[in-house]
Amino acid sequence: MIISHNKSISSNLLYTIVLLPVLLLLVLPVLNIVVLTFFGTNFPESIASINRDLFLLLLKSLAVSGIVALISTFIGIVLGFSLYKSDIKYRNVFRLLILIPLFISPYILAVAWKDISVLIFDYNTSIFEKTYSFFGMILVHSTIYSPLSILIIGSALSNISKQMEESALLMGSFKDMFFKILLPLIRPSIITSFVLILIFSISEFSVPAFLGFRVFTTEIFTQFSAFYNHNLAMLQSLLLIFICVILLVSERKRISDSVFLSIGTRGREVKLYSSKKIVVFSYIILSFAVVFTVFIPVSILVYQSFKTGTSKFMEAIFLLLPTIGNSVLLAVIGSIISVFIGFVAAYYSEILNKKLMNMMLLVLFAIPSTIFGIALIKFYNNSLLNFIYSSFGILIIGYVGKYSFISAKLIGNSIKQMPKSMEEAAVIQWIGFFKRIQKIVIPLVLPAIFASFIINFLFCFGDLGTSIMVYPPGTEIMPIKVFTIMANATESLTSSMALIVFLVTILLVSLLFFIFKKIIAKYNVNY
Amino acid sequence: MKRTSIIILLFTIMLAISCEQNSNSIVVYTTVDQVFSEPVLKEFEKKTGIKVKAVYDTEETKSTGILNRLIAEKDNPQCDVFWSGDPLRTAVLKNKNILYPYTSKAAKGIDNVFKDKDNFWTGFSARARVLIYNKKLLKDNDVPQSVFDLTDEKYKAKVAIANPLFGTTTFHLAALFSVIGDERAKSFLENLKANDLVIASSNGDVKRRVVKGEVYCGLTDTDDANEAIKEGANIGVVFLDQKGIGSLIMPNTVSLIKKAKISDNAKKLFDYLLSEDTEIALAKSCAQMPLHNGVKLPDGVLSLDNIKPMNIDYNKTAGKLESIQEYLKAWVERK
């Protein structure tokens, strides 16, 4: 439903104030590089290189990422149900533990799993070498992206009406209820999980590169780093962006009217299953997941860090300490701006049917990080905008461009679930636009705002792809320091640094959870 | 309102701090691993009082960051000095008209073979391509002594090299093509492929595989080998083809970036990197071989005088690379 009274000067003003910087600071650099690509001198050569083999490679990448998305989404359904619908103890501890793979760099996980696999399997055959890269990529990507699926599907499961489930259980068995009621109700979130993970997986470069598995992103990377052919790399990236946009648009069309994801249940009663079978199954499956995706890789890191004593760990602390302040501050600023833009884009898209900004954020999200970095350099590196390019401002622009869509998506889905009657009542009372946003909309979507802040923070804090292209000379941020040091550092120093990043992230996320819990509690009292 | 003000204030402070211009500073981009390059740059800061603002590159991105950044920044260069780990990347920049020629007095003691004929780059401290092998898995008699031995069936699926599209492996293969000719080099690579050669993601990955015993041996650089030995790995190091074509020697290179005004500080850093002090520091930290004659070597570091180098022209080798890159890509991608 569209609230017609909202078409006021204030509402248009806010939209314009946010849309203009998004357009000028984020979208224009990308348009600039697209124009440069199409009018570049070697465009005819580049277009001739887009051949059948390239499309086959794109299909192969889609197929592999599709498998990753299927596995991750399946894990999301099973673990999401165990975490959000079964009556188990220590649910919150499990929820935090299960998110841990999101905090570890894909590259480091790939190295850890390779070491583990070599220990377990017989590597004295070339079959291991040839098959590991394929299975390794599926394993590592599924491990990394399953937590996202658990979050998306788990949230949808939390929002199913208890009455509906209970009525279904009165009419039939648990199995019937699960397959005929629960699964169809969370179908939109299953589709979202599948599509988002497919996009994340198909855009990720470091894992296939480490495992020597040729996919579309490694091809783009080769054009960049071996041939320095920006034009062809950009054209190839446009193909990837096109696929991602098609996927996201079709997902949006398919589930545009569905309520599927929100963070927090706002007092809605959640049906928890306490039958022994379900609880035991949940414990087993969750314990297995924690051991497999968290305990084993983290143990490897701990072992490698301390096998020669504590000196390397101390050295890693000494190396990373100067980077923590900058990294946290930049990630916090980037996340605040991303959440603000995401909120505005989501609100106008869902309530006022203005979808332009949301669409722009979607396209920016789908652009490979390196390409986005090059776009920023080409646009900002001139005497007029040098004050941005040579400052931390460029990093914040990079973060906001890459990750605002995540906020728009999460907050948008929460806005979809907002009871419209409250805002309508306020409109009838002639309460102004900004007052309504401040007193009605924000409190209602506050949990989603905080959740998207945390997820954005995680992505900004760990960003490497765009940051490495634009970070100002003489500055240090944590992910870049880790990766530039680990190039020729000892195994124990590399593991120590990965472990420190992991511990700092856990600490910060826990701190953010604690702060947000307090704020939400305060809002609920006042509201 | 209060919160918004705090955010705006924080943002402004950040921008103000980062925009602070220090006239007595210099911007250097380096593809040399940070663990080795940073101490040298810090020492330069200490000695001259000139602040060095560095951009380092990463293993994961295989120097994509810096090279592409320099290319993308061409019209408004931010960088003053480019310090490369090998002459090949520098040659790419030279061909793209990004470098500025400079002849340093500090390069006096360095052989002309390690300098660009047009003075766009000057070489210093060199690494070499070596074979490392796992001492547990290979007996002394079985250790290959020539790169061409690696096609022997007894090493089937037990030899690793890094992806030849990136890093110093590119350089190594381009040098081989230059020295033995295209036909012989291609035949050698086909035989390697037929022998189930393992293509690792990087030189570091080659080192890791040899140390862990996944393969018997692999081609890598002396600094990787040195690091493995420092970590206590049970590996041996061989300078290949000492009775044949010789080992590839890869000097670091330093270049000035072409911009409206070349600062004196840039030239000071250029000169400092070519100094004997730098060569000694790099010899100590990563066993790089000094190119100046008569530099006192730390224990365990070989002198160039003791190695038979591969006889190549670095500029021509860079040119050769361009002509074989498509072939190398197809070779890597072939099953």
- Read off the tokens for B320: 């050769």
In this predicted model, what pLDDT tens digit does every residue of A477-496 receive, in sequence order? 888 888 777 766 777 888 88
In this predicted model, what pLDDT tens digit does every residue of A299-320 receive, in sequence order? 888 888 888 888 889 999 998 9
Provide mean pLDDT across the span A251-272. 58
Q: What is the pLDDT of residue A263?
A: 47
**B204/A contact by beta carbon, under 8 A:** yes
From A223, A182, A216, select the one nearest A201 (Cα to Cα).
Answer: A216
**Averaged pLDDT of chain A:** 83
**Amino acid of residue B215:** V
Interchain proximity A464–B60, CB inside 8 Å? yes
**B75/A contact by beta carbon, under 8 A:** yes
CATH T-level topology, domain A1-29+317-477: MetI-like fold (1.10.3720)
Q: What is the pLDDT of residue A1?
A: 45
Same topology, domains A1-29+317-477 and A60-214+255-304? Answer is: yes
Instruction: List the domain boundaries for chain A.
Output: 1-29+317-477, 60-214+255-304
**Amino acid of residue A368:** P
In this predicted model, what pLDDT tens digit does every residue of B181-234 receive, in sequence order? 999 999 999 999 999 999 988 888 899 889 989 899 999 999 889 888 888 899
**A438/B contact by beta carbon, under 8 A:** no
CA torsion angle A131 A132 A133 A134 (round to 10): 60
In this predicted model, what pLDDT tens digit does every residue of A217-231 receive, in sequence order? 888 888 877 888 888
Q: What is the pLDDT of residue A262?
A: 47
**A487/B contact by beta carbon, under 8 A:** yes
Q: What is the pLDDT of residue B7?
A: 55
Contacts of A462 (CB under 8 A, 6+ apart): A103, A105, A479, A501, A505
**Following DSSP, what letter does each residue of A362-380 receive, concatenated?**
HHHHHS-HHHHHHHHHHHH
| Cα–Cα distance for residue pair B281/A289, rounded to 1 Å | 48
* Residues 93-132 of chain A whose Cβ lies under 8 A from any Cβ of chain B: 107, 115, 118, 123, 125-126, 129
Percent of chain B at pLDDT > 70 equals 90
Measure the CA angle with vertex B3, ends B1 and B8; round to 5°.
Answer: 95
Q: What is the pLDDT of residue A275?
A: 80
CATH 3.40.190.10, chain B: domain bounds: 22-126+251-303, 128-248+320-333
Whether residue B250 has pLDDT greater than 90: yes
A-B CB pairs within 8 A amount to 167
Whether residue A523 has pLDDT greater than 80: no
Interchain proximity A221–B64, CB inside 8 Å? yes
Whether residue A261 has pLDDT greater than 70: no
Pair B278, B40: CB distance under 8 Å: yes
**What size, in residues, is chain B?**
335
**Following DSSP, what letter does each residue of A381-435 receive, concatenated?**
-STTTHHHHTSTHHHHHHHHHHHHHHHHHHHHHHHHTS-HHHHHHHHHTT--HHH
CATH T-level topology, domain B22-126+251-303: D-Maltodextrin-Binding Protein; domain 2 (3.40.190)
How confident is residue A525, by pLDDT bands cut at 50, 70 and 90?
very low
Q: Which of residues A4 and A149 earns the better pLDDT score? A: A149
Interchain proximity A226–B71, CB inside 8 Å? no
Whether residue B2 has pLDDT greater than 60: no
**B11 contacts on A by Cβ (under 8 Å):** 333, 396
- Write the DSSP symbol of residue A179: I
| Cα–Cα distance for residue pair A486/A480, rounded to 1 Å | 10
Determine the CATH number of domain A60-214+255-304: 1.10.3720.10
The H or E element that residue A55 is part of is helix A52-84
ipTM above 0.90, yes or no: no
From A371, A498, A230, A205, select the one nearest B62 (Cα to Cα).
Answer: A205
**A341 contacts on B by Cβ (under 8 Å):** none
| Cα–Cα distance for residue pair B217/B135, rounded to 1 Å | 9
**Following DSSP, what letter does each residue of B72-134 receive, concatenated?**
HTTTS---SEEEESSHHHHHHHHHTT-EE----GGGTTS-GGGB-TTSS-EEEEEEEEEEEEE
Interchain proximity A488–B33, CB inside 8 Å? yes
Q: Considering the domain B128-248+320-333, what is its CATH architecture?
A: 3-Layer(aba) Sandwich (3.40)
Provide mean pLDDT across the span A495-519. 85
Interchain proximity A464–B59, CB inside 8 Å? no
How confident is residue A259, by pLDDT bands cut at 50, 70 and 90?
very low
Instruction: Classify residue A170 by burial, with Cβ atoms within 10 Å: 0-12, 13-18, 19+.
Output: exposed
Which of A302-306, A363-367, B133-137 has the highest average model confidence (pLDDT)? B133-137
Distance between B126 CA and the closest CA of chain A, angstroms: 16
**B286 contacts on A by Cβ (under 8 Å):** 488
Q: Quick one: CA dihedral A136, A137, A138, A142, positive or negative?
A: positive
Whether residue A251 has pLDDT greater than 80: no
Q: What is the pLDDT of residue A2?
A: 47
Interchain proximity B78–A489, CB inside 8 Å? no
In this predicted model, what pLDDT tens digit does every residue of B258-305 receive, in sequence order? 987 889 999 999 999 999 999 999 999 888 999 998 888 887 777 888
In this predicted model, what pLDDT tens digit does every residue of A98-140 receive, in sequence order? 888 877 777 777 777 777 776 666 555 555 556 677 888 898 8
In this predicted model, what pLDDT tens digit does every residue of A378-390 receive, in sequence order? 899 888 898 998 8
Q: What is the pLDDT of residue A156?
A: 79
**A474 contacts on B by Cβ (under 8 Å):** 25, 27, 51-54
Whether residue B26 has pLDDT greater than 90: yes
Interchain proximity A118–B214, CB inside 8 Å? yes
**B157/A contact by beta carbon, under 8 A:** yes
**B223/A contact by beta carbon, under 8 A:** yes
